[in-house]
Each structure stands twice: as structure tokens, then as C-alpha cells.
Chain A
Amino acid sequence: MSKIHVTTSINGDQVEYLCEPHETLLDVLRDRVGLTGAKEGCGSGDCGACSVELDGRLVCSCLVLGAEAEGKEVQTIEGMADGEKLHPLQQKLLEHAALQCGICTPGILVAAKALLEKNPDPTETEVRYWLAGNLCRCTGYDKIIRAVLDAAAEMRGA
């Protein structure tokens, strides 16, 4: 079977690649485009470590085909900071010591950013339910939830 040619936008840059019809967007990002920030924790959409935004919608990139990115805009963790300037969520996760091993962190950040784009003033419960699809085995979530609420407050004030 021949490969599919895809033209898409990743973090604002136009990107072209060839991928197998069955190849996931996660594999394309990691193995063909060289963006390894999205992680594969399960490959079945249960852990959220591969979270990216596709045309502004939060998705597990392991459940999206590489071919589906044709003509769309993909936002990954690598596009979150503006050069040296961290996104407030990135800064707050660091300040709150809200990561231990850091493998879930890219997915948590992408998911939290998608939440704050929709709901700039979430309650603790809303943050907890929104992030229920992002597994973290290290922190018990406490510091992550505090960091997201703190970032939301700062972004509303800014």
C-alpha cells in the first residue's frame, strides 16, 4: 500500500509528510516530524500523554490518523512557549512543583490550555473533571490542580 502525502500546519509551520494509511498522528509527530514532546503512554486514548490540539480541539493524537491532519492546524507542547517566554501554565506548573517525572506534563499542559481557552475561570471540580483523561502517577494531582487554578487566575488578571 502506498503512503499518503499530507500537508498540514504544526505549531504554525507548514509541514509536509508521507505516512502510512494506518499510522497515527502521534507516530507521525514523533517519528517523522521529530516532535517527541507528545508521549505514548498507552496507545488507546486512556492516559492523555499524547494530547494535542487539532483545529483547536483537544485530542489524543494516538487516536487520530496522521492522514487526518491534512489541511488542519496541529498544536503540540512544542508550540506552547513563545521563544524564551513560557506560557503561564508552564510557569505555574514549575512554581508549584507540579511535576515529578514529567512524562504526563506535556499532555497535562496541552489539555489545561484547551480548558482555559474555553473556560478562563474554572472551578476546582471543573479542572479535575477536564483533566480526568490525563493520568499522572507521581503527584496525586494536588499540585497540578493548584497550578492550573493559579495560572487561570493570572491569565484572567493579565
Chain B
Amino acid sequence: MVNEYVESKSDASDVTESKRDFKIVGTRPLRPDGIDKVTGRAMFGADMSAPGMLHGATLRSPHPHARILSIDVSKALALDGVKAVVTSKDFVKQDNSGNQDTLDNLMARDKVLYHGHAVAAVAAVNVDVANSAAKLIKVEYEILPHETDVDAAMLPGAPVLHEGRKFSSVPEGSSPNVSSYWEFGHGDVDEGFAKADIIVERSFKTAATHQGYIEPHACLATMGADGRGELWVCTQGHFMVRELAAAFNGIDASQLRVTASEIGGGFGGKTTVYLEPVAVALARKSGRPVKMVMTRDEVFRATGPTVSSSTDVKIGMTKDGRITAGQAKLRYQGGAYPNITAMLGAMTAFAAYDLDAVQTLAWNVLTNRPKQAAYRAPGAPMAIYTVESVIDEMCQKLDLDPLEVRLLNAARKGTKSSYGPTFDEIGLVATLEAAKAHPHYAAPLGPNQGRGVSCGFWFNFAGNTSVSIAVSPDGTVAVTEGNPDIGGSRASISMMAAEELGIPYDKVRTIVADTNSIGFNDVTDGSRVTFSVGLATIKAARAAIKNMCGRAAMVWGIDPDAVEWKDGAAVPTGHNAGNFPPMTLAEIARDAGKTGGPIAGHFEANADGAGVSFGVHLVDIEVDPETGFTKVLRYTVFQDAGKAIHPAYVEGQMQGGAVQGIGWALNEEYIYGDDGILQNAGFLDYRIPVASDLPMIDAVILEIPNPGHPYGVRGVGETGIVPPLAAVANGVSHAAGVRMAELPMSPPRILAAIDGAKG
């Protein structure tokens, strides 16, 4: 069973109402899209068709690095059934370098920078013809030397990906493959290390992993001769798709209406575009609807995995466990184009701790791999893995309890974080204490078994959000928002609307509207939806309530200020308000035509105040010393949700994040040969965790209210993937009696470490 631990902090800011007596928030109703999803009716990216539809196919580079000398599409165009071919020449050059990189990534311009890089695309009457046509496109390449390893790509003489390109804020003398450099921290680390009784310095490596969403990228585009288009797409952000697909095709954003399909997983990987601008271009050229669907092979080769990393960590500690200084040097490669994931790694590495002296340095390095994309708390898991591994080793050396040491050093309200800001109300101490008090922490271990502990942190994001609420004449409510529902958010949004309006959950229906039906919304990312869309929904409901109180005041002939909203009805309040019976939402809605017309409320803002999130994971691991095989025996996640709107979906985020992290720690890895070609582009060889690999994942929700949200909500989507890397690594290290410093901890690697320790 899932334990629920409810922390009742009495000193929460009065901005939040987390101590309010909620009627709907905190319950577990069925999700509104549930029936569609258990009956096969739900429409995902590849499920939509259109009359006269063509099918697209992409020609991809067979080389990891090559100059494109020429592209001849004549034979493809001559094939029966082929209606259009596009190359990079069909797209509009971008002023913004980030957008140009995204465009060059989805259709190579002068060079191909990784194996699988798109070079051309075809639309034809069916998939078979499209694939045959793609093979008829003749591309002349000048093959160039390639590099896929982060450390090797920084060395003098390494193949240069973007010759002559100047990157700002890169130190003089850096490799031309270093696209960015960052520094964070405060205090004097040299002084800090001088105060330490013990200093441990280690180097770690983590492999690139893929988000592994089960639904490949898919879209369906139409584009009329009048320049008006429609796009159906599985994405985490259809407004983002609109901006980029319109810009790359030189059309106005408002003329391209983008509708988000149901989305079959994203985890950050669907926060950019690959096929969509291409489908629009093919639809425009052919005058027909064009559907494009990636194969799994294409998903692995040409969409963004996360970065691989190589990191040096140095930590000083007193013999009673106080950290005196921490330093990390992080080198990340995120493929062929610049990105900021290493910056996020440098910001998060030591974020769980209250330190006088901390310094993190980070480099992003370009390599001949696919352009990385966000993956759940991007940059943090691999950074925190290195710090939490060293802290665990120091606890072992000093014979100190790993949770006690973390409590001793834990960031609290008022701590100046390692990345700059000072923390407000945060839940790390409560989360650590819950872990310490949990029966899991005291449970006995058998031979070849070890227990791992790790903290995790993620910032959380708020961002641009628009929500509109309409009260129907029958007293039911339609909520319109613009963030694809990736894990049950329509349920939690409906719950917050119902809570605020004081009506039953099943009287509310929340939909995710297309880009022409609601104001702009940032992508569904940064664990922002329940926080931001929830906040906007509450504010929009309050606007509708204010309107409805005004209607009641008009009917009663009293001042609107003398009316308040209580339990789903307007009631007179104060001495002179008069004695009127409550006027319910349904009554006000029924008569709205007579009192001023339709009732609605809306709210738009670039929200702030997302509230950072901490988690602590406990795991018991058994290692077979003969084979190096690992088994996860028991797993418990502790995480601060601020306020869990729908606890079952909060648990789901915690459990799902933990299991993705277990996969990262034990199995998952992009494997390259010397030829620069990905060797395991399929689910058989890129092995994500399956049901038989795992135990139940216990989830313990802490509720330390976020002062920035009316109900105290913090995002919960990402933090869960951060602790498992170190928790599992620490568990393996204790079970096997050797320190592991490279992920994934596959059986051969563990066996080699055990044999090495013997030898």
C-alpha cells in the first residue's frame, strides 16, 4: 500500500490556504479522459487521418559527420505516386541562432552532424512509395572525421562540428567544440577544503539515455493555397510547435492552427519539433494533407536523448559529517548543437545542501550525436548522482549515518542555495526525517544486499499560462486550457475548478484547446502544469465568482461588496446586506441572460513562484557476486508535493520517475561503435525497465505548502528521476563491496569492479 504522510506545518505563509478544509482537492476521482483511454478511443498522434492524405518519409544521413556536396531529388520526384520532396532549401533562414539550430537539426543544411540526421523528406500516396522515393534521392557527401565522446571532443585535434562559429561566454583557449561554459557558487572553496578532516575526490561518467516514450513522434498537416494551415500533433506544447513550424515555413503563427493530440509520453522529449515543420512544408508543396510518423529506429537516432556526462567531484567534510566545501566540474555532451543542460547540472549539483563554500563549473561540448532534448529534470540526475555518491562514500569512511549527515547539511528556509537564490519554505528536512522514521530504513538486509540513499532536487517552472472558464446555462462548467495533459492534469485542473467554485467534480469538464482557441501557453514542462494551470484556473474561477456575486447583488438590489461566495452559492454578508437565501451557481447561470449575459472568467499571466521540490529515495539492492546481476528488492520514494491535488497521480509521478531513474542506473545507455553509429536503436537492445524487473514502488507524499500557490501546490513531475541514480549506485556499492563510478551499472561492469577489487 501507498503510505501517505501529511506534514502539518503551522508556520506556512498566509498566502496559501493549504490548511483550508478541502472538499475535492486531495481526493482520487477518476480521470475525465479515462474511458477513452481504456477503450482504445483516445486519439493519439498517429491515430488521425484526413481525406486525400499523403504519407511522409525522411531520408537520413548514413554518416556521423559529412559535408553535403549535392542533393539530387529528380529520381524520387519521377516515381509514380510521389507528390512532393523538401530539403533544407525549402525552409526560411532564422535570425535566432537557437531556432536556426532547431531547423538545421530537423533538416541538415550544409553538413550532416550525426548518423540519422534528416537530409530530405518525401510525400507520397502511401508509406511504401514514400520510403522507396526517399531511397532514390541521391546525396553526395564528403565524409569527415567524427567524435561521440565528451572528453575526447574537448581534446586538441578533435573533429570540429561547427567550424568558424563563435560561441559567447566560452573561455579563451577552449576547444572549438565547447559551446558554453558556466560557473556557480559562493564562498572560498580552498578555505573550506582546508577546514576538512577528510577530502574525497572522484570522477564519474553517465551514459546518454532516451526519454523512451512509447508513442513515436507523429503529426498530420494540411496547408491551403491561402496560406492557412492545420496541424494535429503529439507534443508537450502545441503553441511551441505553432511558433516554430510557422517561422520555419515563413507563415504567420495565427494562420497555423495547431491541435494537440493525446500524447503518449514525452518526459521532455516532445518539447521541440522534428517532423512538424516538414509535414507543413510537404503539405504546402503537394496541396494535400500529409501525415508523418517516426519509426522507433528514427526516434532513437534522430530525436533527443539526454546528455552523457563526465564529472569530477571534490567534497571536504569534518569528522562529524559537516560539509566544509564542495566542488564539481561537469562536462556534458548533448550532441551536435548547443544546449544549457550542463548549466542546470551545475546549478543543481549541490542544491540540497547548506554550504559556506561551493563551486561548480560546467562545459557543454558538441559531438556527433543527435541534438539532446530535455529529459525530466534535465541536467540534475547526473550531477546530483556524483555528489550523492561521494557523500555516501564519505559517510561510509567516517562511519556516519547517511541520512543524519544529510540532515546535518540540509538546505532549509533561509539557506543561500548553491546556485544563488535564498530558499523560502522547502521540504528537504521533513522529507529526510520521514525517510529516517520509515520502517524501510530499519529493515534488516541479507547477504549481498545493500541499502542506498540519495536526495534529489528540482527547481520547477511556472511560466506563461492562459485559462478560461465558462459557466453553462445548466450550471455546469467548461474549463479551457492550453497545456497537453501528459499524466492526468485534466483531472487535477477540474478538481481545482470544482473546489474553488464549490460544485461537484463531475460538473466540470476541462479540455486542452487548440492554439486559436485560447491564449498562449508555455510547453508542458518544468513540472509546471498542476502549479501554473491550476493557479490560473483558480484565478479564472475567482473572476467568474466575482461576476456571479455581482449578478446576485443586482437581483437582491444590494452592493456587490456585500455578497460572498460560499459552498457554490452567492450569499449576502455583513450587517446591511439583507436576508436573502443563497443563490446557487446553477440559479445564477440559468438566469444569466436576464442579468447581463454569459458568465465566464479568464486569467492570463507569466506566473512565478513555482516552489522548488526535494525528494529522498531509499532502495535495497541485491548483487549476485558471480554474475554482477542486480535486483531491486525494495524502493521507497519520499517527496514534497506542497499540496497533492490528486494524490494517486502525484504517486504516479514519483513512481514513474523512480523507475526511469532505475533504468538509467542499471540498464539504459546509448552505445556507439568506433564508426559513430548508434548500436542499440530499439527497445530490444536499449532496455527500459519491464514489470518483472521491479518491486512495488512505495510513495510517501509530504505536504510542505508552496507559498506561491493558492493551495500550496509544488510541481511533482521531475524530482522523482533525480535521486535514483545515486540511490541505486550507493545500494550497489554497499551490496557488492566496491564503489561504482559509471552508469549504467550493467552486470559486466559490476563484475569487473568486483574482480578488480579482488585482484
Task: Say whether A and B bind each other.
Answer: yes
Binding site for B on A (CB under 8 A): 20, 30-31, 35-44, 46-47, 49, 76-78, 80-81, 86, 90, 93-97, 99-106, 109, 125, 127-129, 131-146
Contact of B40 among A38, A41, A133, A141 (CB under 8 A): A38
Contact pattern, B 647-664, Cβ under 8 Å of A = 1, otherwise 0: 011011101111110000
Instruction: Give 17 CB contacts A-B under 8 Å.
Output: A30-B46, A35-B40, A41-B216, A42-B296, A44-B683, A77-B39, A78-B39, A86-B38, A94-B34, A97-B646, A100-B656, A109-B38, A129-B692, A137-B660, A138-B487, A142-B655, A145-B691
In this assembly, does B79 line the interface, its C-beta being within 8 Å of a C-beta of chain A?
Answer: no
Q: Is the CB of B38 within 8 A of A143?
A: no
List the B side residues contacting A100 at CB < 8 Å. Answer: 265, 486-488, 649, 652-653, 656
Task: Given A94-B34, A145-B691, verify A36-B262 contact (CB < 8 Å).
Answer: no
Tell me, rounded to whole Å, the shortest Cβ–Cβ distance linking A109 to chain B. 6
Contact of A97 among B28, B44, B211, B688 (CB under 8 A): B28
List the A side residues contacting B37 at CB < 8 Å. Answer: 99, 102, 105
Binding site for A on B (CB under 8 A): 28, 30-31, 33-35, 37-44, 46-47, 49, 128, 211-216, 262-267, 293, 295-296, 486-488, 646, 648-649, 651-653, 655-660, 682-684, 688-694, 696-697, 699
Task: Given A134-B691, A137-B660, verify A101-B263 contact (CB < 8 Å).
Answer: yes
Alpha-carbon separation in the docked complex, A81 to B656 (Å): 28
Contact of B44 among A90, A99, A103, A139 (CB under 8 A): A103
The winner among A42, A76, A133 for most chain B CB atoms within 10 A is: A42
List the B side residues contacting A39 at CB < 8 Å. Answer: 44, 46, 214-215, 264
Task: Given A103-B44, A137-B688, A138-B487, verify A42-B682 contact (CB < 8 Å).
Answer: yes
Alpha-carbon separation in the docked complex, A135 to B46 (Å): 18
Q: Is the CB of B688 within 8 A of A40?
A: no
List the B side residues contacting A106 at CB < 8 Å. Answer: 38, 40
Q: Which residue of B lies closest to A46 (CB)?
A: B683
Alpha-carbon separation in the docked complex, A96 to B657 (Å): 18
Contact of B683 among A47, A86, A102, A125 (CB under 8 A): A47
Contact of B652 among A20, A36, A76, A138 (CB under 8 A): A138
List the A side residues contacting B657 at CB < 8 Å. Answer: 140
Task: Given A132-B690, A142-B655, A145-B696, verify A37-B39 contact (CB < 8 Å).
Answer: yes
Q: Is the interface of B mostly helix, strand, loop or mixed?
A: loop
Given A40-B46, A143-B655, 14 additional A-B pairs, CB 8 A = A39-B214, A40-B293, A43-B296, A44-B684, A86-B38, A94-B34, A102-B264, A105-B38, A131-B692, A136-B214, A137-B214, A137-B656, A140-B659, A143-B648
Task: Given A37-B41, A137-B660, A142-B697, verify A94-B652 contact (CB < 8 Å).
Answer: no
Tell me, rounded to whole Å, the shortest Cβ–Cβ distance linking A33 to chain B. 12
Tell me, rounded to whole Å, the shortest Cβ–Cβ distance linking B486 to chain A. 6
Alpha-carbon separation in the docked complex, A46 to B300 (Å): 14
Q: Is the CB of B682 within 8 A of A102?
A: no
Tell me, rounded to whole Å, the shortest Cβ–Cβ distance linking B665 to chain A. 14
Tell me, rounded to whole Å, the shortest Cβ–Cβ distance linking B586 to chain A. 26
Alpha-carbon separation in the docked complex, A49 to B697 (Å): 23
Tell me, rounded to whole Å, the shortest Cβ–Cβ distance linking B511 to chain A. 16
Tell me, rounded to whole Å, the shortest Cβ–Cβ distance linking B166 to chain A. 39
Task: Given A43-B295, A97-B488, verify A144-B691 contact (CB < 8 Å).
Answer: yes
Q: Which residue of B lies closest to A95 (CB)?
A: B30
Q: Is the CB of A90 within 8 A of B38?
A: yes
Q: Is the CB of A138 within 8 A of B694?
A: no
Q: Which residue of A lies closest to B653 (CB)?
A: A100
Q: Is the CB of A135 within 8 A of B688?
A: yes
Q: Is the CB of B652 within 8 A of A139?
A: yes
Contact of B264 among A38, A43, A103, A128 (CB under 8 A): A103
Contact of A41 among B33, B214, B659 (CB under 8 A): B214
